[in-house]
Structure 1
Amino acid sequence: MPDHDQSSFALTAAPPVMIDRRGSMDRDDAIAVRRLDDGWDLTVYVADVASGVARNSTADQEAFQRRESAYGGRRGTAKMLPRPVEERLTLAQGRPCAAMRVRVNVAADGTARECEVDRARLRGAVAMDHQAVADAIADSAHPLHGALREAAALSEVLLARRRDQGALALYDLLSGWATDEDGGLVRLAASERNVAYKVVQECMIAANTALAAWAAQRDLPLLFRNHSVAKVAPPRQVLLDDLDLALADGSPARLEALAQRTLMVMKAAEYAPFMGGHWGLNLPGYVHATSPLRRYADLVVQRVVFHHLDGADDPYTQDELASIAVALNDGARADREAQKDYFKAAAHARDRRAAATDADFSRLDSRGFHAILKRGCKENIATASLADEAARRAAAQQLTALELQLLLLVAGSESWKDARAACLEAVAAAPETAASVLSVHAQVNGLSLAEFADGNQGQSPHTVFSSSASLVVDGTQVSGATRTASTKKAARHQAALSLLARLAELPDPSQDLAAPAPQTTPKKATASPSSQGPSPLMTLNEYAQVRVISGLKFDITGQGPSHMSTFTCHAHAHHEGEQLTGTASAPSKAAAKTRAADLLLKAIDARRQQTHDAA
């Protein structure tokens, strides 16, 4: 069996380094990097577990049941192999260790040119934690400075090559975010936020990739690690751009949102006895082979490789590999669901305690406040301070449609009374929000969306639109009042607001924003410009509310003695980028303002009619 002994290397060589958490007792791999004239020689030594754990032995059966080691979370710390077996087979400093050696010749641009796989005996390996590696790279006097610096340089080249090939790969060690091998964003432990983490990740991915190609060339039947995405996933380049932007922005909320999105669009990678490709890495084939102490799939792969090297028959049939893959995938899926439920229950308990605490909630960011508000509404828990903060955020228009739905249509205890009233008042101030709240309510409860019955009377530009909204809840149709406005959109907003108030069992703040449509038969003109329809001031305010116009203002000046004053009003507004003006004079401010508003309204309606005719 070939040796890697420090004494057998030239002076330019350095011992392999085992990089792991401080105090780790299950060291799967060691890395040795040597600079060449035209690239690097990367050698990864993997603990020989296959020779020490016989198929169908007690240790093998326990490992198969556990599938992989756990470090925290629902399962706590639970090793895949029994402790005595792990201690016997782990790579360790100060003793020779049997290993599988994967040697990859890497070109200067990061391309893997060739791969050799054999058995080896590892001697002289050095155990280091992540911080010790980072310190050695920064310290030119450290005995391993040169070798580790080359390992860091190689990791940068390997990362750049993967990025060029379309892999979803990024590291932001300063903020503690990185992508895992599937391309999902993960939060790094504080001890891993340095260059050593990147060295380990890139070297292991390179070794696993090279071994997959090596096995495929020899038609070895083993477990491949396949990965795909959902049909709704955006194009690869869009995700890459989003990753770049999120890390450049550095916003925790943005990073968390992107992490959740990648989880939603990427399917979990799975094992299979065939090469199905890996989307996150953008590779035709990939295997897990560098952690046989911690993952059962790696142990299976190692057994297949060693049988091939020894000239023995394949240790598994295709059906056996397929059966193992199904068991590993099903177990991983069950673990993910159990872990999700575990963290969900823990989060609910935390938020439940917070909602019942009379604390200062004003300092919470939107995400933290949402979690506590959601638990408080669903379980009708509310201290005075939580209800007051909800009311304050509602008045400041800082609540989302989902939060308004929780407060108006879920929370029901007396302690939420004032906050619910504040929420409806906030929706009334921005009535376009009502439809969004109703939509959220329908989606959350699996209901059909609210329906609107629309109508209109009169001729443009003085058409009066009407609308009423209804929603079927528990088989019963609930309807709001019919509301009118001079635009269809505004009528629907008021109708949705009315329905929302009825569902919330609160006083209805919706309004009719338009008077009845004018008669089509001519009437004798009168002095009041508002006698043939709604007040021009009311109509202008409504136009501003539904954003037909913007920047509405009135400038009034007066001239002459107090008993014979003449007031002039200039009414201004912007419509589709153009400033329109109406100017009028009258003996009183009110009359001048009304006449100016009437002239401005006519100018606006004329522009709207021109646009309508042109269309």
Structure 2
Amino acid sequence: MAEYDPAECGVMIDTATTVDRDDAVWIEPHRDGFDVWIHIARAADHVRTGGPTDTEARQRVHTRYRSDHTRHMLPAPVVEAASLTPDRPNDTFAVHLRIDAAGRVLDAALGPGRLTRAWTMTHAEAATAANDPAHPLHATLALALRFAHTMLAARRNAGALAFYDLLSGFATNEEGQIVRLDSGERNSGYIIVQEFMIAANAQIAAWAVREDLPILFRNHRLAAVAGDPAELRDELDALAAAGDGAAFETLRARMKMVSRAATYGPTVHGHHGLNLPVYTHATSPIRRYPDLVTQRILLAAALGRPSPYSPEALADAAAHVNDALDAERRAKAEFFKQRAQAETARHAEAADFATLPYKQFARVLQYAVERGDAPAGLAADTARRLDARELQLREFASVYLYGSGEFAALRERMNRRLADEPQQAQSVLNVYLQDRLGGPVSNETNVHWKVEAEPAFEGPLFSAQVALVYGDTRVESPKRLQRNKKDARNQAALALAAQLADLPDLSVDAAAKPRVEVQRKLLVDGAVNPAEAVQIYAARGVVEDLVWDFSVDGPSHERVFTCVGEGRLRATGETVAAEGSGPTKQAAKTAASVELRVLIEAGLALGETGDRSPA
């Protein structure tokens, strides 16, 4: 390739039928890291704020892609004028990132840019180029793929629910939902695009926060009982390794139930699905109205001009977009609900349930539970699907919580199954709450956990209690005791689920032996040397697994010894550690013992270390 300016180069990766190209990416090596450019089409130059085109775009909110047609947010002439094309110079909004080998952003700059050398590729073509040394863009796309994997690994290490299974065609979206990929996206080209865009949007949002510049931030929260993202990601990895498509669908349905829709707003509330403190949408201004609004604000700021939106106007735009998207989701759900009802009634009358695809079976089952009238054979086929591990969470919870008549015996079996797998009980509670609320569950207002250590028993031992609140109603579980916080929560949720379903409570407490020692009698006299006092506490069993570790630094005539003492409080199972330094090993140990003694005695006095937050 001839000499070129990397800041003006870009590859546009999209589907084969795309006409509204609004982003391009480029990458160069920088030491052991990366120099990255993301070019975004300057749609704001073609749509006057408050003009007729802008008014229509605001009403449409975003481009809608249908199987037989596309309804663009912007008129066709504007789409053509604003789209990036490889055969002409393009004015852009450019994001330049310098990133190290671990995926950490070292520097970020953004502002007006130019794209003068560009290529268009499909996702599959980009994947091929990344793996074909003979391809003219191989070096760039191979580096782009390495960058994408670096950023993906960094996001996963930070706790994000980020996952791609290109073989099975599943991936997580920004909101933590599992989505099916189109056939043209089941390749590494899709990962390249996703990771570049997430990096750009995250850094644009971070820049706006640093500049104290209100834009349309993208905020997202997950339902209270969605589970730990790290555990969900491990579950996804295990399913991918097993190649279990049915289990993928089950987990997909579960995540859809507990996921909440992200919203736009001029203030920052974080993005749970991506595990980012701040995020926005700015890379698709031709296709999404919030991106167009944000681009106008960013361009004005980069050029030293005031924002084209007052705080009130920006809040109004956010509210309008959120309301429009919510109405669209509801309308879509209602359309499919009505269409499904007639089909469901027909299948319910047919009584040949074993031959029904799962989606149709689920509709029939829900229909029967809601009516309180199960057709002959439906309970038996539901039991068959339960035994075959085909019954998904939504349908399990519906029968478990609300089934009657023919479902009585099956509900008893489900109760025993839930006792064997108590980790599912919190999801059942979430279904119950969603049914009462008619929407997502809020951790702050609808689910109240009380989880704490129980120092009165031989430890470690924790208690958990959960309460569900909706409207003027509050239902609460009994307290359950277990050896760790997670198991205590699961057993408390199991007890409440049985209570709500009016079924026998099969939850259990761990065997608990009351502690016979009186804590104050265990205290070592204050006059005792700190190092000796710590050893006495170890001998009395107050602290277990006590170890001392020494290191030395400095020249031989001026050595400095460092001692680290560490142990585990028997009452809570929590680790206590302290460090001290001195001219001799004994002095260093004494210095460490002073702090370690304080930590041990604080734990002994409180019965814990003070951490009462849920696991």
TM-score by length of 1: 0.61
Identity over aligned residues, as a percent?
39
Q: Which moves more between the two structures, 265-274 or 125-134?
A: 265-274
Shift of 1:390: 6.2
Equivalence for 1:371: 363
Q: Which residue, out of 66, 69, 82, partners 1:72?
A: 66
Distance 1:358 1:54, change over 3 A: same
Map 1:43-122; keep pairs closer than 5 Å: 43-72=37-66, 77-122=70-115
The letter for the 2-side match of 1:271 is: Y
Equivalence for 1:412: none
User: 8 Å contact 1:13–1:147 — kept in the other structure?
Assistant: no
**Secondary structure at 2:111 match in 1:** strand
Map 1:145-160; keep pairs closer than 5 Å: 145-160=138-153
Shift of 1:285: 1.2
User: 8 Å contact 1:184–1:262 — kept in the other structure?
Assistant: yes
Equivalence for 1:261: 254
Instruction: Report whether the alignment pairs 1:225 with 2:228.
Output: no
The letter for the 1-side match of 2:361 is: F
Shift of 1:83: 1.2
**Secondary structure at 2:341 match in 1:** helix
Map 1:27-38; keep pairs closer than 5 Å: 27-38=21-32
User: 8 Å contact 2:351–2:377 — kept in the other structure?
Assistant: no
**Secondary structure at 2:269 match in 1:** coil
Q: Deviations over 1:383-402 (max 9, x none)?
A: xxx95676677699869695
User: 8 Å contact 2:221–2:260 — kept in the other structure?
Assistant: yes
Map 1:153-552; keep pairs closer than 5 Å: 153-355=146-348, 361-364=353-356, 368-375=360-367, 409=405
Mapped to 1, the partners of 2:175 and 2:149 lie a distance apart of 19
Map 1:522-601; keep pairs closer than 5 Å: none
Mapped to 2, the partners of 1:44 and 1:127 lie a distance apart of 14
Distance 1:110 1:81, change over 3 A: same
**Secondary structure at 1:125 match in 2:** strand
Mapped to 2, the partners of 1:140 and 1:14 lie a distance apart of 24
- Corresponding residue pairs, total: 420
Distance 1:216 1:407, change over 3 A: closer
Q: Deviations over 1:383-426 (max 9, x none)?
A: xxx956766776998696956999965xxxxxxxxxx6xx78x7
Mapped to 2, the partners of 1:290 and 1:168 lie a distance apart of 21
Instruction: Report whether the alignment pairs 1:125 with 2:121.
Output: no
The letter for the 1-side match of 2:223 is: A
Structure whose CA Rg is larger? 1
Mapped to 2, the partners of 1:66 and 1:107 lie a distance apart of 40
Q: Which moves more between the two structures, 146-155 or 250-259?
A: 250-259
The letter for the 2-side match of 1:178 is: A
Q: Which moves more between the two structures, 121-130 or 232-241?
A: 232-241
**Secondary structure at 1:16 match in 2:** strand
User: 8 Å contact 2:399–2:411 — kept in the other structure?
Assistant: no
Shift of 1:138: 2.7
Shift of 1:140: 1.9
Equivalence for 1:9: 4
The letter for the 1-side match of 2:161 is: L
Distance 1:199 1:358, change over 3 A: same
Equivalence for 1:539: none
TM-score by length of 2: 0.61
User: 8 Å contact 1:49–1:89 — kept in the other structure?
Assistant: yes
Q: Which structure carries more relative contact order (alpha carbon 8 Å, separation 6+)?
A: 2
Mapped to 2, the partners of 1:396 and 1:313 lie a distance apart of 61
Q: Deviations over 1:424-469 (max 9, x none)?
A: 8x76998989xx9xx99x99999xxxxxxxxxxxxxxxxxxxxxxx
Q: Deviations over 1:170-202 (max 9, x none)?
A: 111111111112222111111111101100000
Mapped to 1, the partners of 2:414 and 2:243 lie a distance apart of 35
The letter for the 1-side match of 2:146 is: A
Distance 1:318 1:403, change over 3 A: closer
Q: Deviations over 1:523-554 (max 9, x none)?
A: xxxxxxxxxxxxxxxxxxxxxxxxxxxxxxxx
Shift of 1:283: 1.6
Shift of 1:319: 1.3
Distance 1:346 1:17, change over 3 A: farther
The letter for the 2-side match of 1:369 is: F
User: 8 Å contact 2:8–2:117 — kept in the other structure?
Assistant: no
Distance 1:345 1:210, change over 3 A: same
Mapped to 1, the partners of 2:221 and 2:9 lie a distance apart of 38
Shift of 1:61: 0.4
- Structure 1 stretches of 5 or more lacking a match? 1-5, 410-419, 447-498, 501-615
**Secondary structure at 2:193 match in 1:** helix
